Amino acid sequence: MKNKRHPGLFAIPYVLWIAFFVILPILLIVWYSFTNTNQHLTLQNYHTFFANGTFLRMSLNSFWYAFLITLATLLISYPAAYFLTKLKKQQFWLLLIILPTWINLLLKAYAFIGILGRQGLVNQFLQLFGLGPVNMLFTNFGFLLVATYIEIPFMILPIYNAIVAIDPALIQASEDLGASKWQTFRFVLWPLSRAGVESGIQAIFIPSLSLFMLTRLIGGNRVITLGTAIEEYFMTTMNWNMGATIGVILIVMMILVMLLTGNKPAHGRRMHHE
Amino acid sequence: MKRLMIAVGAILLACLTLWGASLKLTESSVASGGKRLIIYNWGDYIDPALIKKFEKKTGYQVIYQTFDSNEAMYTKINQGGTAYDLTIPSDYMVTKMRRGKLLRPLALQRIPNRKYLGHDFLHKSFDVKNAYSLPYFWGTLGIVYNDRLVKPGSIKTWDDLWQRRFRHNILLVDSARDMIGMSLASMHYSMNTTNALQLHLAKAKLDQLGPNIKAIISDELKMYMIQNEAAVGVTWSGEAAEMLSNNRHLHYVLPKPYSNLWFDNFVIPKTAKNLAGAYAFINFMLNPKNAAQNAAYVGYASPVQAAWQHLPQAVRRDRSFYPTQKMVKKLMVFKDLPPKMVQKYNDLFLEFKMYAR
From the list A10, A58, A117, the residue facing B4 with the nearest CB is A10
CB interface of B with A, residues 28-87, below 8 Å: 69, 71-72, 74-75
**Residue B55 identity (one-letter amino acid):** E
A274 pLDDT higher than 80 = no
User: Nearest 5°: CA angle at B302, between B334 and B73?
Assistant: 50
| Average pLDDT over every residue of A202-211 | 88
Q: Model confidence over A5-16: pLDDT tens digits?
A: 677 788 888 999
Multiple choice CATH, A53-238, 3.30.465.10, 3.90.1300.10, 3.40.50.150, 1.10.3720.10 = 1.10.3720.10
Right CATH for B12-138+263-322 from 3.40.50.720, 3.30.413.10, 3.40.190.10, 3.40.50.10860: 3.40.190.10
pLDDT tens-digit profile of B189-223? Answer: 999 999 999 999 999 999 999 999 999 998 889 99
Distance CA B193, CA B341 (A): 9
Read off the amino acid at residue B327: M
Say yes or no: do domains B12-138+263-322 and B139-261+333-355 share a fold.
yes
- Would the CB atoms of A236 and B346 count as touching at under 8 Å? yes
Q: What is the pLDDT of residue B184?
A: 97
Q: By the 8 A CB rule, do B314 and B248 touch?
A: no
* Candidates A121, A233, A237, partner chain B, best to mutate (most B CBs within 10 A): A237
Where does the pLDDT of residue A264 fall: very low under 50, low under 70, confident under 90, or very high at 90 and above?
low
Q: What distances in angstroms separate CA B296 from CA A63, A90, A224, B292, one per listed residue?
A: 48, 57, 38, 6
- How many residues does this entry show for chain A? 274
Neighbour count for residue B176 (Cβ, 10 Å):
21
H or E element in which residue B170 lies: strand B170-173
pLDDT band of A271, cuts 50, 70, 90: very low
Examine the pLDDT at B281 and tell me if it is beyond 50.
yes
The CATH number of domain B139-261+333-355, selected from 3.40.50.2300, 3.30.420.40, 3.40.190.10, 3.40.50.720 = 3.40.190.10
**Gap from B75 CA to chain A (nearest CA, Å):** 8
Would strands B261-266 and B134-146 be described as parallel, antiparallel, or unpaired?
antiparallel
- pLDDT, tens digit (0-9, with 9 covering 90-100), for A122-156: 888 888 888 878 888 898 899 999 999 999 999 99
Q: Per-residue pLDDT for A2 more than 80?
A: no
Question: Kind and range of the H or E element at A13?
Answer: helix A7-18
Taking an 8 Å cut-off on Cβ atoms, the answer to whether B228 and A118 are in contact is yes
Is the model's pLDDT at A265 over the cut of 70? no
| Chain A environment of B100 (Cβ under 8 Å) | none
* Nearest residue to A67 (alpha-carbon basis) of A263, A260, A264, A266: A260
Residue contact A221–B346, C-beta within 8 A: no
Average pLDDT estimate for B256-263: 93
Domain boundaries, chain B: 12-138+263-322, 139-261+333-355
Which 182-201 residues of chain B touch chain A by CB within 8 A?
none
A217: pLDDT confidence band, cut at 50, 70 and 90?
A: confident
Judge: A220–B216 Cβ closer than 8 Å, yes or no: yes
B219 near A CB under 8 A: no
Across all residues in chain B, what is the average pLDDT?
Answer: 90
For the stretch B72-119, pLDDT in tens is 899 889 888 888 999 999 999 999 999 999 999 999 999 999 999 998
Is residue A34 a contact partner of residue A42, using CB atoms and an 8 Å limit? yes
Check A119 against B228: CB less than 8 A apart. Answer: yes
Comparing CB atoms, the residue among B1, B69, B216 nearest residue A3 is B1
How many angstroms separate the Cα of B214 from the Cα of each of A218, B9, B170, B172, B285? 11, 58, 5, 8, 39
Query: Which distant-in-sequence residues (6+ apart) come within 8 Å of B318 by Cβ?
Result: none
- Measured CB to CB, residues of chain A less than 8 Å from chain B are 2-3, 6, 9-10, 12-13, 37, 54, 57-58, 61, 113, 117-119, 135, 137-138, 216-217, 220-222, 224, 228-229, 232, 235-239
Distance CA B303, CA B318 (A): 15
Q: Could you give the percent of chain B with pLDDT greater than 70?
A: 95
Distance CA B145, CA B252 (A): 7
- CB B349: neighbour CB atoms within 10 A? 23
Q: Name the β-bridge partners of B236.
A: B141
- Judged by DSSP in three states, B130 sits in coil
Q: What is the DSSP string of B23-92?
A: HHHHHHHH--TTTEEEEEEETT-S-HHHHHHHHHHH-PEEEEEEES-HHHHHHHHHT-----SEE--BHH
All residues at 6 or more sequence positions from B354 whose CB lies less than 8 Å from its CB, including other chains: A54, A57, A58, A61, A224
